[in-house]
Amino acid sequence: MANMKGEFEKTKEELAKSEAKRKELEEKMVTLLQEKNDLQLQVQALDEEDELPNTINRQNLCLATRKQTAWLMLRKDVTSSSKPKSSWKPKLRK
């Protein structure tokens, strides 16, 4: 009987240690999860900062392309207006 009481006390102590260790690990897990989330937010912010110059470059390229296209269209209109116009006229609908 005394042997069983000794084993019970020993098991009880091991359980208390195990529970304390489990609680400690849970707290570490929460801390690590918070740090991970903070790092993800920092990386996301850095990605957005890197994306801004790329977006500005794309906008500038788009504007330059539109200007060049407009210039070419204007130039085409000017050069085509110096050519004689055809005598074709569209039919008017009544």
CA-CA distance, 53 to 47, in Å (whole number)? 11
Give pLDDT < 70 ranges for the chain: 78-94
Residue 92, domain member (yes or no): no
Our CA dihedral for 10, 14, 19, 21, rounded to 10 degrees, sits at 150
pTM, entire model:
0.49
Alpha helices in the chain (DSSP H): 2-81
If one counts the domains in the chain, the total is: 1
22: Cβ–Cβ under 8 A, 6 or more apart, which residues? Answer: none
Residue 85, domain member (yes or no): no
Amino acid at 13: E
Residue 87, domain member (yes or no): no
Residue 84, domain member (yes or no): no
Render pLDDT for 18-40 as a digit per residue (tens, 0 to 9): 999 999 999 999 999 999 999 98
Q: Which domain holds residue 68?
A: 1-77
